[in-house]
Amino acid sequence: MQSDAVLHFLQHLDIEMIDAVLEPNRTYQNYDKHIFIQHLGYAIDEFIQSGDTFLQRYPGQCNSESCNFKCDGFTFVGNNSGNCFNLIIEIKEGVVHDIHECSTFKCFSQLVSKNKRIIIDKSVLPF
């Protein structure tokens, strides 16, 4: 499935393959695909520069009633840095329809050790 490939390449920090498998005619985080890929690439570079070679993936969901309440997604945590980002990933019939950050994400695992949060869209920094 396409969604499995996207998750696999996210975990392996492979922006070129994420670009290759995401649908070209969609927007992601309200950006045209090429802009979203550019932003996501910068975030992935931050993981790599921090010594990460892999992202651990933990399920969870949005915890804000004002946006995507209870929408499913994942916390991705760098295997060396402990840095993380939280992504809501809308999947329908095995195809990723949207990906966007979530600043109010609730990870289901209480055992996740997180360090710094990596921001994909620097224009929407948390207060």
Q: Residue 106 is part of a domain; what is its CATH number?
A: 3.10.450
Residue 125 domain flag: no
Q: Is residue 35 part of a domain?
A: yes
Q: Are 84 and 18 in contact (CB under 8 A)?
A: no
Overall number of domains in the chain:
1
For residue 10, give the H/E element and its range: helix 2-11
Residue 112 lies in a domain: yes
**Domain ranges, residue 59:** 2-120
pTM: 0.87
pLDDT tens digits, the chain, 127 residues: what are they?
Answer: 999 999 999 999 999 999 999 999 999 998 999 999 999 999 999 999 999 999 999 999 887 666 665 788 999 999 999 999 999 999 999 999 999 898 888 888 877 778 888 988 765 444 3
Q: Closest by alpha carbon to 60, among 40, 81, 87?
A: 87
